[in-house]
Amino acid sequence: MEIRCIHTGDLHLGMEFKSASFDKKQANTRRLELWETFNRIIDRCKEIKAHILLIAGDLFEDEYCSVADVKRIDSKFREISNTKIVISTGNHDTLGRRSLYRLIKWSDNVYIFEPNNISKVEFNDINTVIWGLSWDKKLERDSLLDNISTEDTSRLNILLAHGDALSKDSEYLPINKNALINSGFNYVALGHIHKPQFISSSICYCGSPEPLDFGETGSHGIIEGTISLEDTKMSFVPFAKREFIIREIPINENMSYNEIIDRIKSIDDKENRAINLYRGIIKGTRDSQINLNIKDIKEYLHNEFYYIDIIDSTTPDYDLDKIYNENSNNIVGLFIKEMEKQGLDNEIVRDALYYGLEVLLSEKVKR
């Protein structure tokens, strides 16, 4: 028997994007896009007639969700009654006594693991045993999965969990990678790390299907494929509506203001700029007489990008010798000498010098 399977998790439905640099409208649009992508995942299960949908925790944000939201999730699950939906909850959708999970009657095709101890659910019609556990707290320092191994190897064994297999002293259910590799599971579906990645050909983090901030660059999606006793063929499928993209924008002191603006526009083609979320970091030396007002630039590029965030990391092209000679007997000259003493090879000292000079010289002009 070969089963068709979709593995997802870390959807964070309900997230409000308050901390991101989005404005109110964009934050709300992004919140709704998470729901949209959840719906598309359910549609994908229909399309490929998935036998199982594995959800590896952080399906929703319990802080921002209501019973209505959980009802809404359940109603989508009811649309795929032929797919078995198995959930191990995570640290954002914990399964404590007062959890939202416990407030509704879930569709018959939904199975949710209880917290703290590993248990298993057996599906005889597809010769499959799924093992897992949920969270009921926000931190979990115990390595609850370390001694786990399969029992009956004539059946498909799948492990589903939310935890950290990448850092040893994690406070988010530390998982010993090597123990897992030798544990005999046909597939291990993990959640918690938002960057999709395979730890081995049959152990995988699905990642967040819709990336949540600039810490989650690169392609995001779901894990899809087939699992049989002979072979596991699960692979990453891009599924995100938008990507977070960070680009460095190199400039030099010979560039005019408009050339810099054009350079920012050129970080991607028009089609991509209309979809993705960009952060441009302007780097290099700029003509000290050019003023890069980030707010104005963002406003100006408003129609060129769906979203752009700009960081100015440039340094002005001050002629230090000339400025010193003109100011050797005042605070500007004194400041340059003092910073030179601290060593201009040090990037922090150099930046401090430039920032200081910018302020001091502009004060001088005012006077």
Residue ranges in contact with Mn ion by CB under 5 A: 10, 58
Buried b (16+ CB within 10 A) or exposed e, 3-19: bbbbbbbbbbbbbebee
By C-beta, is 10 or 309 nearer to Mn ion? 10
CB of 176 to Mn ion, least distance (A): 21
By C-beta, is 205 or 278 nearer to Mn ion? 205
CB of 8 to Mn ion, least distance (A): 11
For residue 133, give both structure tokens. 């556990």
Query: Which residues are paired to 247 by β-bridges?
Result: 280
Among all residues, whose Cβ is closest to Mn ion? 58
Neighbours of 66 (CB within 10 A): 12
By C-beta, is 6 or 190 nearer to Mn ion? 190
CB of 228 to Mn ion, least distance (A): 29
DSSP string, 92-127: SS---TT-GGGGS---TTEEEPPBSS-EEEEEGGGT
As a whole number of angstroms, the distance between CA 234 and CA 187 comes to: 9
CB of 215 to Mn ion, least distance (A): 12
CB of 190 to Mn ion, least distance (A): 11
* Most distant CA atoms of the chain, gap in Å: 89
CB of 38 to Mn ion, least distance (A): 14
Rg value, the chain, Cα = 27
By C-beta, is 112 or 264 nearer to Mn ion? 112
By C-beta, is 150 or 219 nearer to Mn ion? 219
Q: At a CB cut-off of 8 Å and minimum separation 6, what does 72 contact? A: 35
If DSSP codes are grouped into helix, strand and coil, which group holds residue 84? strand
Backbone torsions φ then ψ of 295, nearest 5 degrees: -60, -45
By C-beta, is 137 or 364 nearer to Mn ion? 137
